[in-house]
Structure 1
């Protein structure tokens, strides 16, 4: 595969040529109905083959060093379609302990309906996964860096483990983005994304991605056309436009996250910081070996004397907002949002505390972000609590 530079790939791969007017950007084809006679391809939106869908999928495959890709209406549409394409009744799947709450909820509420058994690991080392493999295990599912504690899983080790046992390996690569990490290069079979996040990058697009070999994507396609998780062509066009700047945006977010993690780790008002770029992170060396950048996401715990709810209310620049990876910096409480569907007991197993704050770094100047955090903490400290 001819690999071009990352900014060149983001900008040009898979773009549609405007043959009529010679415009500089891909034209948008809004039709949901196409001719079926005397055509090479019978196009229909639910079959993922409209002109804009096809073009964007070429870009996505190139970004993840895959043979093919499909674009979906959300990250969960991509995740659920990929899983159900390869799992049948009496099959078993091994899932990483630290997972996005939506994925966790899908596993515990849906698999049993279809006679699919599952195991969550007790950690995220290769040995933890191997311990859970059974004769009927068909899939190993990982997430690295994980949401929200930024744990790091050994991509090469999991790829080799899956191959050894004849198991498919899948990864949610959302937090890293294809700018920072390409799991297929390490032997992972199927890569998933919530394209709502770094690919969209402006908090105005909802989409999901699956990228893999052509053989795997052919299998996934047969399930995808039944589930109907396709995306409108207008959103496809917007996403293709947004991806053009992804590498530039993510680089700035990487830099901001590294600076912010360092600042927070030195603050007296913060108890713990979770960011793989810090040398104190237990998986720092592993992250260095498989990531080109450490990402724009981090989590931290405020000192127990500081009310997190009041802290959110006193932020003026950073937005207390759901989702992540936009050009604007946002914070949220995982227990109230991304992991709210999990029981308190299950959150405790993953060490997700009520005091945990997930921080998505945008592209603002670091001085402004730090000033906002400091003024919010100062206001919370100044509030006297009546006895």
Structure 2
């Protein structure tokens, strides 16, 4: 081939190559953090500036965490990883684990009447067992609706968000239980009584707080110790500085700030803490996520046979006509992403939470929010995040 012909041939080839289609670039692989960020954006889009904190944990490792929205609307303060939220009834799961730990060490017996620990200080104490309190089968009526105690809570005329509560104040609304052990009926009263049993057993409020702190430290990891910065029972000045405000969506669309609506000068005393062991913890999504991970995935809080006992639905719950038919002791099952998750939710004072662990994969998803409108956004957000986390 002559030099001139070779030169023309090369020009022709190069020219034709510019007309040939180029291979399609490989689609970028979405990593786990990107997937979860997008899932959080989609899940929270319908809830405006609602404050949200979320986390995904596997065997003590935080795989992803995210925040959205405002911790306080006026003046605006965004949610950060350090913002505290009231857990509300999600705390029941933590209390149940602590109570079962006392059963493991021989301090409590599931089927003894609670009179063995608190005497005859409340109606029905000789007929109600610790097991009944744990499984919501004690039959105690709702003390929050009792005429003796209902006015003590918002919007009752005797409500004072700065006045500390005592168990003696709440005990005025504890009435004779109806057919103890006969049926499942979700009972805040039962969990307040369970807390009273544990407080009496410990030797007082301060002793219970110390015992709780020591117990929850078992959920620590080398990188993330469980401290008051992550989960707390105390309404301290430091907690007030970091705590989100809870908001209720009113019928006219406006938001009611649970802190300012009733004139609280600090953290409302009914929001969390003792004696409200039906919802006594506040903290971050990471704090409660590590507790569930330690309980259901790492086996750090209870023995395996105790966990199996805890998650087994009670016969009364199985016969129940509502969604709680999977309720065992302080936890129930939820479905998301085609798999089962063991956990609990909660709502109170403008706060809403949901957390669950897929025990087969050792995967925990926790969501805490500061909005009720009127249904809480935590469960639909949690469900979308759990579905995204469970994908291969």
Which is greater in Rg?
2
Q: How high is the TM-score relative to the length of structure 2?
A: 0.26
Higher relative contact order (CA 8 A, sep 6+): 2
